[in-house]
Chain A
Amino acid sequence: MANTALDPHAAITTTASGVATQPLTTADGKPLVRALARSQSRARRKAFLLVLPLLAFIVITFVVPIGQMLQRSFHNDGFSANMPNISAWFAQTERGTQPDDAAWQALAADLQASAEARNIGVVGTRVNYDMPGTRSLFTSTGRKVRKGIEPPYRETLLEIDEEWADPQLWATMREVSTPYTANFYLASVDRTRDADGNIQQVDENQRVYLMLFWRTFWLSGLITALTFVLGFPIAHLLATLPMRKSNLLMILVLLPFWTSLLVRTTSWMVLLQQQGVINDILVWLGVIGGGQRLQMIYNQAGTIIAMTHILLPFMILPLYSVMRTINPSYVRAARSLGATSWTAFRRIYFPQTLPGLGAGAMLVFILAVGYYITPALVGGSSGQLISNMIAQHMTSTLNWSMAAALAALLLGAVLVLYWLYDRLVGVDNLKLG
């Protein structure tokens, strides 16, 4: 029996064969491809003009500042620009060379010149980044040599401060004498260079960044998982309830967006602190004794609770928008085919929610990785994330290069995760709304 005769749609599957090999032309003989490109280019130009303002806005307010910021992470000319002579000496000599007379002379001249130009603070700050506690050496020496400095330079400088002879100081100055450096990145992963320029771990009591990165990613993952566990049933409810009820529920979901951060923080304090509502209830119920009140704020628990709450809508909304499009007849079909409700959920419903889940998880995770305010307010010291460190470098230590390096690493890690996600799931599977 001929299948094609029975199936009127079978014709679709036969491919067109014997297509002419020479290029197609328009009626007046021009190549079709060119004619098409010409006819579309006007429309394309118009479309480009329409998006031009947005493009300019993004370039000016986003791309340029971010680029400048990132540049700081590997480029800092605070030393090399203000100390040209000694920088030249470093460039000419090998690593580990003992400073000779020329070196001392160059150093003295540079110190005097930059003190006179009132740039000595910048120089000190730059060296201080790599070797803490040296800024004052530069500023105090600068004050004394501003009016002029007499040879013999080595002795004069040593007289001002013994520390000028420190080989570690000279090694550090050599490091910072070029404007381009990887040291901020090394510092971001708790590495430093010893006097010979070898990379090594910093002292155990100074290792913070790796631990903070690890904590940031681990907590973000945990928060993503929590928002999924809490958000999935709500999203499902939202998608299946009748319109009126689901609208009410939606308002509750969106409530965190509408309350001010301070109000929210205050209410968390009321709820979570050791003398707070939750502890009171637990004690009253006899779940815990009066002496064992739980610490749920100003530590990691506080960060987790508060961030889960804030980020929950970012999980719920994409899930909801995907679930709403899943026809209930799929689950019914599965049930009629013999699947228990659990199997129908696991094999039929859940896989169809994956695009929403992927989008939600991605949003929550990326937002969590960069979150700053909430951990700062309720995280105590054990709940601080890498962003808090970045903020600290931006605002209090004013080591912008370090902040930029940390931010760049964070960005890189997120991009790697995004790439992994694309490889494993496929970004075109995302559904944001």
Chain B
Amino acid sequence: MLDDRHGEAFVAFEHVQKSYDGQTLVVKDLNLSIGKGEFVTMLGPSGSGKTTCLMMLAGFETATHGEIRLDGKPINQVPPHKRGIGMVFQNYALFPHMTVGENLSFPLEVRGMPRDERETRVKRALDMVQMGKFINRRPAQLSGGQQQRIALARALVFDPQLVLMDEPLGALDKQLREHMQFEIKHLHEQLGITVVYVTHDQGEALTMSDRVAVFNDGRIQQLAPPAELYERPQNSFVAGFIGENNALAGTIEQLDGEKALVRLDDGGLIDATAVNIREKGQRTTVSIRPERVEFKPEMMPHGAHTIEAQVIEVIYMGDILRARLRVAGSENFVMKMRNTIGQTHLHAGQSVRIGWHPEDARALDPV
């Protein structure tokens, strides 16, 4: 399903570069193909060029270099109104001087659709987002969540194949945001549309997407399904950006295919999987998820290397116990333990030896 070959990609960015001022590249060599019906999220810190990419796809910015293709056809020269792309803006951009019904009817009117067909379509789209009662309200008379639904309905009412959403839930409170995530996902599945979604909320990205493109510094750092992104980050940025993560600095001591032995700066030895490491003696940052750290020898594979750690504090969090440890001179090493009946309870000041499965520790580029 996640096909990267040109011919079958619905949306394709090829070597796209973008500069606003001729001095700096905001987007540097972007390559991305999105399959039909896919839900792809662009995730990244502020200023990483997500909106810029979306605007190039929608036609409001031109690519400085490279090509963007929609359904196999280059669209660099196609004006925005001919692209047939639905778009949900961060501030919703509902037309304030029109009622909800007129807002939804607008894209149909400019397509010259007859009145009765417009009415049925508007009604259908409003029912889809459960806003049928609000057809005669003005946007200013709606709550944030309601405006969000109308914006969604307006982007979908003319049956676009591709819908772009730029942080559509950014202005909503947490509860409503989670609820809308579910609804958007539901609509995506129901309608079979392709969605390109922008957010800087990683939880949102992980729960909604088929694939996530992690942006930083104008490049896609990694493009992968959520589970892979979380479990097999390709570089230190992704490891640090997605989820909680422990980073240990060291030098490659031994390298045998994927298996690496890393000498930490305080002399300890740990196992790791080499990811973007090429040779012995190279500096590296080893990344381990807190819930993959073990302190009971029986949970570690036979012959695993372990290192010394002191418990600084243990925080009770209900479903889990979270221990902060002093490891290799750093006090920010976190270990998470499931709160089960048989769980060994650690206490502050205690010394333990910690270790892990080698595939859970990933030796990445040095930070």
Contacts and interface: CB of A to CB of B under 8 A. Distances in A.
Contacts of B85: 336
Given A9-B176, A338-B84, A338-B111, A333 B89 contact: yes
Contact of B87 (A3, A333, A344, A347): A333
Contacts of A344: 81
Contacts of A8: 145, 175-176, 179
B222 to A, nearest CB: 29
A23 interface: no
Given A7-B145, A351-B97, A336 B87 contact: yes
A329 B93 contact: yes
A352 B96 contact: yes
Given A9-B146, A351-B97, A337 B179 contact: no
A222 interface: no
B241 interface: no
A19 interface: no
Contacts of B59: 335-336
A332 B89 contact: yes
B89 A338 contact: no
Contact of B110 (A6, A327, A329, A338): A338
Contacts of A338: 81, 84, 107, 110-111, 158
Given A3-B130, A335-B60, A336-B81, A327 B91 contact: yes
Contacts of A341: 79, 81
Interface string A330-359: 101111111111011001100110000000
Contacts of A7: 130, 145-146
A337 B158 contact: yes
B154 interface: yes
Nearest to A339: B110
B106 A6 contact: no
Interface in B174-225: 175-176, 179, 183
A337 B87 CA distance: 8
A12 B143 contact: yes
A30 to B, nearest CB: 36
Interface size class of B (residues with CB under 8 A): 20 to 34
Interface in B114-168: 130, 133, 143, 145-146, 154-155, 158
B237 interface: no
Contacts of B107: 337-339
Given A6-B130, A7-B145, A9-B145, A336 B95 contact: no
A339 B81 contact: yes
Nearest to B133: A13
Contacts of B80: 332, 335-336
A343 B86 CA distance: 17
A327 B94 CA distance: 11
A327 B93 contact: yes
Interface in B59-94: 59-60, 79-81, 83-87, 89, 91, 93
Nearest to B176: A8
Which secondary structure dominates chain A's binding surface?
A: helix
A8 B144 CA distance: 11
Nearest to B88: A333
Nearest to B142: A9
B242 interface: no
B58 interface: yes
Interface residues on A, range: 20 to 34
Contacts of B83: 336
Q: Which of A7, A336, A343, A347 has the most CB of B within 10 A?
A: A336
Contacts of A339: 81, 106-107, 110
Nearest to B154: A337
A340 B58 CA distance: 14
A341 B59 CA distance: 13
Contact of B86 (A13, A334, A336): A336
Contacts of B86: 336-337
A329 B91 contact: yes
Contact of A337 (B106, B175, B183): B106
Contact of A335 (B81, B91, B143, B145): B81
B110 A336 contact: no
B302 to A, nearest CB: 52
A340 B81 contact: yes
A9 B176 CA distance: 9
Nearest to B80: A335
Nearest to B83: A336
Contacts of A335: 59-60, 79-81
Given A337-B106, A338-B110, A6 B81 contact: no
A9 B106 CA distance: 26
A330 B158 contact: no
Most buried by B among A6, A7, A340, A352: A7
A3 B84 CA distance: 31
A234 B175 CA distance: 45
A344 B96 CA distance: 14
B93 A330 contact: yes
B265 to A, nearest CB: 49
Interface string B40-66: 000000000000000000111000000
Nearest to A2: B130
A8 B60 CA distance: 35
Contacts of B175: 8
B89 A329 contact: yes
Contacts of A13: 133
A9 B58 CA distance: 31
A6 B91 contact: no
Contacts of B111: 338
A330 B179 contact: no
A332 B96 contact: no
Contacts of A347: 106
Contacts of A9: 143, 145-146, 176
28 contacts: A3-B130, A6-B130, A6-B183, A7-B145, A8-B145, A8-B176, A9-B145, A9-B146, A9-B176, A12-B143, A329-B93, A330-B95, A332-B58, A333-B87, A335-B59, A335-B80, A336-B58, A336-B59, A336-B155, A337-B81, A337-B154, A338-B110, A338-B158, A341-B79, A343-B110, A348-B95, A352-B96, A352-B97
Interface of B: 58-60, 79-81, 83-87, 89, 91, 93, 95-97, 106-107, 110-111, 130, 133, 143, 145-146, 154-155, 158, 175-176, 179, 183
Listed from nearest, the 7 A-B pairs whose CB atoms lie closest are A337-B107, A333-B93, A336-B87, A329-B93, A335-B80, A9-B143, A339-B110
Interface of A: 3, 6-9, 12-13, 327, 329-330, 332-341, 343-344, 347-348, 351-352
